[in-house]
Structure 1
Amino acid sequence: MHDFLTSGLQGFGPLLAQGTWMTVKLALLSLALSLALGLIGASAKLSRNKLLRIPATLYTTLIRSVPDLVLILLIFYSMQIWLNDLTEALGWDYVEIDPFSAGVLTLGFIYGAYFTENFRGAILSVPAGQLEAATAYGLSRAQRFRLVLFPQLMRFALPGLGNNWLVLLKSTALVSIIGLADLVKAAQNAGKTTNDVLFFLCLAGLVYLVITTLSNRLLKHLERRYNTGIKELVR
């Protein structure tokens, strides 16, 4: 394996491995942030309080209407400008946002809007009578969410969540434009150095294919788990 990484990939195997690990870390942390924002956003959109519902609606509407690339550039540079203004006002030293942190925050913020709609639809699909029954049994709000609502909403939300996860994973390639040394950036650097750009980009695409294939297997496992006890409809 070591010989292949050093000779078969013209010495760029370790660089591609580091880029792959960077991409996986970026995707997973962005997913965690997206899921958290999605649950918060869905709860806000379903709230009777307009102070919560209106901002959440604006958030999902605006984010889903603007291309991801534009949002990445806009959020990255605006965050840096706001941070510069804040440090200058407080008399602090200059602080530069690193590309990895910026990528996680940006992708998490963008896809949190999509996950918000996934969770909102899933929550609405859970029969209200079951939550009322849980309340009648004396379950607390946290217990109702953990024991009754969450297992059922995941059954309805998983197909959409899985699709958005795959889109998020591919969108990590866009973060290379702000300087992150991810898989795509590593493949580009290797290709330019060796004058074999097509080979290294195809290799990067193959790595993405492997990751998405493993992701699909995991998603299928989760779907079977959350559908335990549910009779599948036979058409």
Structure 2
Amino acid sequence: MSDYYIAILQGSLLTVSVSLASLAVATLLGLVGAAAKLSGRRPLVWAASTYTTVVRGIPELLMMLLVFYGGAIGLNNLLELLGNPDGVDLDPFVAGVLTIGFIYGAYMTETFRGAILAIPKGQMEAAWAFGMGRLQTFLRITLPQMVRYALPSFTNNWLVLIKATALVSLIGLHDMTYLAKQSSASQREPFAFFLFTAAIYLIYTSISLWALKRVSARYSLGSDKVQLQ
């Protein structure tokens, strides 16, 4: 049975890859979404609000299946219209990363928007008065403070995102959840393999929580310490 446990450990590396890649997508979408909501321009505010409302209202499992199967159908139909009858298969890794990143980008949007609103507006106005451009103001004034305010919610989103990567097993990606299911079916020992997989997830989330607490402590120097639950 040791071979099965080794296979699950190898699958855990894929889980980490999916998690980190999805986090990058979610963070980028969150920053763009927050900027759109705070822009004051009606089309951008409407688009970002629709995005966060719709995504947060649809179950993650359903969203995963819609993107994987619906995305493949839509892409193949588009290729047919362009005169390319050869169909393409949507890569499970890409589909999983984009779907999870797209889902948690909606949550990150609200996280970053709330963090930016928590910063006194007078600080940005003072920076503009000193001749700083908007990008320079964001990098030197807004971003360091935004990180401090966003970290508690960002941490919660990241911990949930890690666990949500188990959904990629449903689209055929051989992560550790998929391999645990295969191992349990082969050996008829579901409790042992699933408990082992759960322990790995717990290790990942514990390490993440420890690391993000240290980051929070670093950004909270000189201010009231932000407590991460």
Name the TM-score, length of structure 1 as normaliser. Answer: 0.93
Cα distance in 1 between the residues matched to 2:224 and 2:65 = 46
| Displacement of 1:91 | 2.7
1:181-220 to 2 correspondences below 5 Å = 181-220=174-213
SS of the residue corresponding to residue 87 of structure 2 reads coil
Q: CA RMSD in A?
A: 1.2
Distance 2:133 2:218 in 1: 25
Tell me the residue number matched to 2:220.
227
Structure 1 counterpart of 2:89: 96
- How far residue 195 of structure 1 moved from its aligned partner, in angstroms, is 1.2
Q: Number of aligned residue pairs: give it.
A: 225
Aligned to 1:180: 173
- For structure 1, the residue ranges without an aligned partner over 5 or more in a row are 1-8
Structure 1 counterpart of 2:143, from 137, 146, 150:
150
What is the alpha-carbon distance in structure 2 between the residues aligned to residue 51 and residue 86 of structure 1? Answer: 27
Task: Give the alignment of 1:115-126 within 5 angstroms.
Answer: 115-126=108-119
Partner of 1:33: 25
Hey, what does 2:107 align to over in structure 1? 114
2:78 is aligned with 1:83? no
Deviation, structure 1 residue 232: 4.2
CA distance in 2, matches of 1:232, 1:104: 33
Q: Which amino acid aligns with 1:199?
A: A
- One-letter identity of the residue aligned with 1:174: L
What's the % identity of the aligned pairs?
47
Give the superposition deviation at 1:10: 3.1
Q: Which amino acid aligns with 2:69?
A: Y
Question: How far apart, in 2, do the equivalents of 1:76 and 1:95 lie?
Answer: 12
Go from structure 1 to structure 2 and tell me whether the alpha carbon gap of 1:122 and 1:180 turns closer, same or farther (over 3 Å shift): same
Which residue of structure 2 lines up, in the alignment, with residue 5 of structure 1? none
Q: Deviations over 1:18-73 (max 9, x none)?
A: 21011000000000000000000011111111110101100100111111111111
SS in 2 for 1:139: coil
**Take 1:232 and 1:209, find their aligned partners in 2: how far apart are those partners?**
25
Task: Give 1:208's aligned amino acid.
Answer: Y
| Paired position in structure 1 for 2:133 | 140
Give the structure 2 partner of residue 4 of structure 1.
none
Query: What's the secondary structure of 1:20's corresponding residue?
Result: helix
Taking structure 1 as reference, are residues 157 and 123 closer, same or farther at Cα in structure 2, changes over 3 Å only? Answer: same
> SS at 2:2's partner residue?
coil
Equivalent residues of 2:37, 2:45 under 8 A apart = yes
- Superimposed CA distance per residue, residues 106-129 of structure 1 (whole angstroms, 9 cap, x where no aligned partner): 000011000000011011000000
CA contact (8 A) 2:32 2:109 kept: yes
Query: Structure 1 residue 70 and structure 2 residue 62: aligned?
Result: yes
In structure 1, distance between residues paired with 2:41 and 2:22: 28
Q: Aligned partner of 1:63: which letter?
A: V
Deviations 1:50-105 (A, max 9, x none): 11010110010011111111111112211111111112122333211111100000
2:38 aligned partner, one-letter code:
L
Aligned counterpart in structure 1 of residue 41 of structure 2, from 32, 37, 49: 49
The question of whether the paired residues in 1 share the 8 Å contact of 2:30 and 2:105 is answered with yes
User: Who is 2:8 aligned against?
Assistant: 16
